[in-house]
Structure 1
Amino acid sequence: MRTLVPILTVIAAIVAIWYAAAIFMNAQWARDQAARAGTELSVSALVADTWSQDRPRLPAPHQVVAELWDTTVGKKITSKRSLVFHGWITLSATLLGFGIGTGLGILLAVGIVHNRAMDMSVMPWAIASQTIPILAIAPMIIVVLNSVGVQGLLPKAFISAYLSFFPVVVGMVKGLRSPDAMQLDLMRTYSASAGQVFWKLRLPASMPYLFTSLKIGVAASLVGAIVGELPTGAIRGLGARMLSGSYYGQTIQIWSALFAAAIVAAALVGIVGLIQRVTLKRMGMAR
């Protein structure tokens, strides 16, 4: 209860600010329409109008909630107007890219920790790769892959993998290096091989770091999947939903897709957190 009250207070404040901002940003349109009609708007009528416009600059919270309800519960999941349908398209690319990025990240981290040459050569390139804006390379990746016949889910998955592998690499490297010198010396006194040190000491010690990086990576994967849908003129997916909303000035549609993406990201991070608690508890690292 102590944590619930502050959270609800912050949410209430955000909603109040949002409603006030909607009045401010949508008021000019309401005044212009009233001037064309030769009427004057009272304060209450102005507020009501700014909160009910079909194409507002900033939709009111209840408009976004109504759109979310209509496009999730009110539509069949096979409908092209269903956010469940579009969300599944984006989620498929996200999970595939997250799996690819996580696998590559773990393998690269193991190589960096166990090979001095990889540490000195590969790690700087991995860091430098993240300085390139994803919006700049996403169209290039898609065009190149399309030219060799790779279309559909894979191009978006590769972009997701690009964004997710780096947090996994950094977290896993830090985790594999987390055992101190005394623990490593103890393993050597037992004549443990490099493989035994890895499986019995380094890998278990890296689990908290790995799961922390996976939470970041899975959210980044979703961003990558959405970004991958934008430069292709896609007609399916949450990114495509945002794109079509921007083409036709449907701001409510854009905001509902944004909130749907946020809900999907929160669910994915929550699932990773649940797996983390179960795994660490079975390993004796958490209560």
Structure 2
Amino acid sequence: MSQETASWVRDVLAGRAEPVEPRPAATVMLVREGADPGGLEVYLLRRVSSMPFAPGAHVFPGGSVDRRDIDHEVRWAGPAPAEWARRLGAAEPLARALVCAAVRETFEESGVLLAGASADEVVSDTRGADWEADRTALIDHSLSFAEFLDRRDLVLRSDLLRPWSQWITPLAEVRRYDTRFFAAVLPEGQQTRDVGGEADHVAWMRPAEAIEGWRSGAMAMLPPTVSSLKDLAAYATLPGVMAARRTIVPIQPELREVDGEVRLVVPEGVDYPL
């Protein structure tokens, strides 16, 4: 933590500065069957060291909600936005935007698309120059998500997502996010690919293996990622993950000054591996 950041944290904790309003965001834990029977793997990206938020950290695909994610023209299949509002504990417009952001960001950062030609179909392959052109256009905002789906005559498959958790960046952080976590199974036929940009390394790993990498110091991670991996490690199969019924309760770690040092404290009751 830089001296400037530490000074800001102390100012917020002391009431001398107003906290930053958190931006709504969504992230998706993509899972697939592992090489060994009965196991599962999760997809992780390592953020490039130049990123202003969590540089070098291993994360799941995701990012901030775009203002166009709320677009009512987005083709939709599966549970309606009103049902997602209930599941996520959010107003309906925000719930719609969060689901759209989850699907859009997953495609932008992994090449995996949770959409299909109908409510019963899923795109089988997203490789090729034409798909890459659309992915790049989404990233540079020259193409909206609604336009992308229209162009390819696809519908967003909200039923392929499972709500998992909600984490809010500590009050005293300079950059803050209110992030909903989702789980989704890698669609049959699709493959993740190293798309570059915000990540310099990608990997499929068993949740327990990733946690050990964090414990050993080989893999940097933020608390929400570690805690989510611990959650996933408790499920042996993909059906178990997708059948999980989770109550979404906002989790907000705290930054506290202890003996002159700023430390992160995870709330009691959160399953956080030590």
Q: Where on the TM-score scale, by shorter chain, does this alignment land: which range?
A: under 0.3
TM-score normalised over the length of structure 1: 0.22
Q: TM-score, normalised by structure 2?
A: 0.23
Report which structure shows greater RCO (CA 8 Å, sep ≥6): 2
Is the strand fraction higher in 1 or 2? 2
For the pair shown, the structure with the greater C-alpha radius of gyration is 1
